[in-house]
Structure 1
Amino acid sequence: MKKMKSLLLAPALMAVLISGCGGGNEGAAPSPSANDSGASPAASASPAANVEPLNLNFYYYSQALQINGDLPIFQEAAKATGVTLKNVAPTGGDDAQAWNLLLASGELPDIVAYQLSGLNNIAVQGALVPLDDLLAENAPNFKAFLDGNKAVKSAITASDGKIYVVPFVSDGEAQEGWYIRQDWLDKLGLKAPATVQEYYEVLKAFREQDPNGNGKKDEVPFFSRNATSGFASLFPLWDASLSFKLKDGKIVYGPNEPEYKTAATETAKWYKEGLIDKEIFTRGNTARDILFANDTGGSVHDWFASTANYNNKLQPTLPNFSLRPIAPPASISGKVFEVTKRNPLGNDAGWAISANAKDPAAVLRYLDFWWTEEGRRLHNFGIEGETYTVVDGKPVFTEKVLNEPAVVDYLIKTTGAQLTIGGHQDFAYEEQWTNKIALEGVKMYVDNNYFAPEYQVPQLNFTLDEDKKIKELFPPIETYVMETSQKWFMGGETVEGSYDAFVQQLKQLKLDEVLEIYNTAYARYLEQQ
């Protein structure tokens, strides 16, 4: 214990762990089957069933919710496993404060729920129990999932080559897509754009031909909710990226690639011509609410489910409003692709067994329960007879659940279902409350496999030294890229006149060192495949 306490209090460790769990409401809304094999392995009975009662402490912090072991899903799990939970996380403060208090105490509970990188960072210092040798006997369901999902297994493997974390795994592929005002297209006699040039011409028509019919030039052809980098949603039209991507088997940084110059030049032109929201850096998350409600928003690249819902929301005030998903416009090179894809570990969450646990095997048997058919249904749908009923052998949400404005929030608060504990989501839970239009878009993107593999950089696990170095070097690079890109976008400086100096400055800021670290971690990831 003394050794572990000294490790947890190490300044280097504290520096790399100051961050909170992520994952938003729609972030839990994917599309069918994320498995490499295309189907989940058959679940077997939990080894934890019919065992002696066991009381476990666990850490799960939420600033917004009071999470405890009395939540209905945990009570139902206790009936099946004999295991009861008590949450020892503090109340009040933010995620980072609560996490750092836990580390400083040195007294880790039996189960620790947190973000994957944070768990793996303390794991390699001896704070968590490696699971590799325990999986076959104590977690057959979780092991079967990993055997059928090599990418997930590789992504959760820590930098020392061991598995410590049972992750929260999303189910699906489609995440975001292109949407356009079909009613505006119809009014102007236009078809859905299929190429970057056609998209430009449609946006130009939206701007100049008064599709909302109010006699004002107030249309905003393209907009984004992302106030920081929403303009970069358009970059794939020129095969560019604002982030890391894969190229020739290596990880590269988008702004350092030649395509970025073209994308920056073209988006600046579109902005100057009024095709992109003039307030793109200030509207933020309310952009859809404002622009669609005012009948001025024309097109957006955004989440499938919530974006399609505006067709229902605006029916009373704008009965002709018709927002439809379209295929990604072909890029300048003729490629049709979507850059976003459901990351099965996108919520960056899971739980692990601390080195303080008296019987790690018994704890792991409990964690495996959530990967059984019974446990997965409990985790996804809540309590039978209360939040769902069984129809033709499948769980179907009650009308009360489906009528909730935020289904995921409701499930978490009332039952604990959809908490980001170690388990596997089931797309069927989300399919039931998703707009039909959104489901059509999801199907279009999945059936056509629009997802571009070069944009899908996997989740990587860094050593403590690597993580520390990245946190030292990359923030100045990112800040410089964003400031310069926004300056170009708004016309404060020409891309042509300063791009070479921009690339040189990235080199001065030691981008090469960052890329070397990323590619070292990527090589480790590939070795685990």
Structure 2
Amino acid sequence: MRKNLRNRICSVTLAGAMLLSTVLTGCGGSGEAPAASHNKETEAGSGQTAEDGEKPVLSVWAYWTNGDLYSDQGDWEYWQAIEEACNVDLEFLDSTGGKDALSLLAGTDDLPDIIIEYDTTFPGGVQKMLLDGSIISLNDLMDKGKLPNFKAYLESDPEVDKLCKNNEGLYAWTPMIRKPDSPLVFNGNMIRQDWLDELGFDLPETVQEMEDVLVAFKEQKGCDAAFSFIYGNYNIMVNSFGIREGMYVDAENKVHFGAVEEEYLDFLTLFNRWMNMGILDPDAFTQDADAFFAKIAGERTGLVWGYTGGTLGKIQTMQEENKEMNYQPAPNPVLNKGDQFLVDQSSYRINNIGGVISAACSNPEAAARVLDYTYGEEGNMLANYGKEGVTYEMVDGKPVFTDFVLHNPDGLSIEKALSVYAGCNNKPFLVEKDYMLGGYAYEVQKKSLEVWATPDAPIKDMPPQTMTNEEVQEYNSIMTDIQTYLDEFKLKFILGTEPLENFPQFVENIKNMNIDRAIAIRQAEYDRYLAR
């Protein structure tokens, strides 16, 4: 019994489209942790069957990326396996409308029973939806034994437990969780090793060595965009100066806003000099992926920033056409030879996607059973590796991906082929290290995870937000204007349209926009986090 809810949400979606039209017109990864087994209570818990003997039917909003393979999420083998294991029928809403469509449903009786989404897609964030009563706390269900696998894992992993609950000890969702030995850094610099060898350079370890290499790439290899990146991601170079651009925490647990600190001027000075020297890609702050990869293919660049999967993996396929090209992961650059890279590049071990149960849920216990399944042994295997005999085989006690995944007969990428049967990167489950490594087709991708790792760096990113409603409103009202101002003037400084001598006035202006109050709000939030 699988019904698509398009009829039910058609009026909501149409209303959202009309509203949006009006607005637009007017505006012009593995250590094993103890987990409860998938037992009879989990399979046949309270509320398993409706009074008429039918399976409970749950409406679901779930982020997904397989629209090119399926017209309905209910046809996806991954969800069909969960339906069978949990003895439920899942009806999927059309989630392609994203945050705007979900915002229209929030606070109404039309909010689906289960929502699986990124935190940034939840209207105001998942904690805001918990505070305003749109979703329920999971605590009561956990206490009643309705989320046994999830609860057992949290009890075995205090670090993750601390990240999963808010300051009141409430659990808003079941997030994607990376196990303790999983890689946590998935991006960094990549460099033409073949050019380094040809020109007689070692891998650059310092900012100055990087500059020397970039000059050589420009002068001897004809690069007009020697250092390039995508999506405006240049943070690795800001981090070389021992700060983050935005909010961060130092080794003494003090919150900072990096863009007003002296080290940020050092970064701006470096990028301004590189721009004037013609070794920094002037399009890097605005270009799309096609333009970026075209420069790599055209050998207009030799040092790029990117991701282990989407960037380094694509470059490897390009190298099959250009056998001389050899991109390798480059070390995180420091200021002086032998220095420690001070800024931790690691993601937190909970990802910003997870599952929630709405306050309008028709059967919270059945919904809990669905969310809990992938934290148990059986569901964890499904979410990480898919279907035995199809996407993986057990070899010497370990799952090994099959050619269906690694060399898909229909030409699907590794991630796309695996996602037919597994949860992959956009579902809540326990991420195994072997799954993460097995999903990379090239050894150089696995190598990058080690080269870019920063486990002992003292400067940390802020943990997931758990500000109060009042704090969120005040903080956002301050930071919206500051971020807009920062985005405008950092480019002016780098491009040279604003003299670097005006940096003190830039800092003063941000202070006058109440940045100290914003820092104080995040400090109070972080202090509460430490006290959990």
Same fold (TM over 0.5): yes
- Choose from 180, 186, 208 the match for 2:191: 180
Contact between 1:224 and 1:287, CA under 8 Å: does it hold in 2? no
Do residues 430 (structure 1) and 436 (structure 2) align? yes
Please give the secondary structure, in 1, of the residue aligned with 2:226: strand
Do residues 245 (structure 1) and 248 (structure 2) align? yes
Structure 2 partner of 1:140: 148
Return the offset for 1:141.
2.0
2-structure distance, mates of 1:67, 1:524: 42
Count of residues in correspondence between the two structures: 480
Do residues 235 (structure 1) and 238 (structure 2) align? yes
Change (3 A) 1:69 1:416: farther
Do residues 475 (structure 1) and 480 (structure 2) align? yes
Structure 2 partner of 1:15: none
2-structure distance, mates of 1:235, 1:415: 40
Return the offset for 1:427.
3.1
Matches within 5 A, 1:174-323: 174-208=185-219, 210-211=220-221, 217-226=222-231, 229-247=232-250, 248-310=252-314, 312-323=316-327
Change (3 A) 1:297 1:41: farther
- Choose from 133, 147, 163 the match for 2:171: 163
Change (3 A) 1:91 1:526: closer
CA RMSD of aligned residues (A): 2.8
Please give the secondary structure, in 2, of the residue aligned with 1:349: strand
Aligned residue type for 1:502: F
- Choose from 10, 13, 34 the match for 1:41: 34
Question: What whole-Å deviation, never above 9, does each CA across 1:187-219 have from its counterpart, x for those lacking one?
Answer: 1111111222222222222222x13xxxxx335
Question: What whole-Å deviation, never above 9, does each CA across 1:374-400 have from its counterpart, x for those lacking one?
Answer: 101111222223333333333332213
Structure 1 partner of 2:468: 463
Change (3 A) 1:275 1:149: farther
2-structure distance, mates of 1:124, 1:425: 28
Structure 2 partner of 1:8: none
2-structure distance, mates of 1:317, 1:245: 42
Change (3 A) 1:264 1:188: same
Contact between 1:63 and 1:95, CA under 8 Å: does it hold in 2? no
Contact between 1:328 and 1:338, CA under 8 Å: does it hold in 2? no
Please give the secondary structure, in 1, of the residue aligned with 2:151: helix
Aligned residue type for 1:492: T
Matches within 5 A, 1:49-64: 49-51=43-45, 52-53=48-49, 54-62=55-63
Do residues 73 (structure 1) and 78 (structure 2) align? yes
Question: What whole-Å deviation, never above 9, does each CA across 1:121-165 have from its counterpart, x for those lacking one?
Answer: 122233333222432523232122222333433333235431121
Please give the secondary structure, in 1, of the residue aligned with 2:56: strand
Return the offset for 1:270.
1.4
Runs of 5+ unmatched residues, structure 2: 1-19, 21-28, 50-54
Contact between 2:135 and 2:172, CA under 8 Å: does it hold in 1? yes
Contact between 1:120 and 1:165, CA under 8 Å: does it hold in 2? no
Please give the secondary structure, in 1, of the residue aligned with 2:90: strand
Contact between 1:240 and 1:263, CA under 8 Å: does it hold in 2? no
2-structure distance, mates of 1:142, 1:411: 24
Structure 2 partner of 1:341: 346
Return the offset for 1:288.
4.1
Structure 2 partner of 1:24: none
Aligned residue type for 1:388: Y
Do residues 119 (structure 1) and 111 (structure 2) align? no
TM-score with structure 2 length normalisation?
A: 0.82
1-structure distance, mates of 2:520, 2:194: 49
Runs of 5+ unmatched residues, structure 1: 1-17, 19-31, 212-216
- Choose from 364, 371, 379 the match for 1:360: 364
Change (3 A) 1:323 1:508: same
Contact between 2:56 and 2:366, CA under 8 Å: does it hold in 1? no
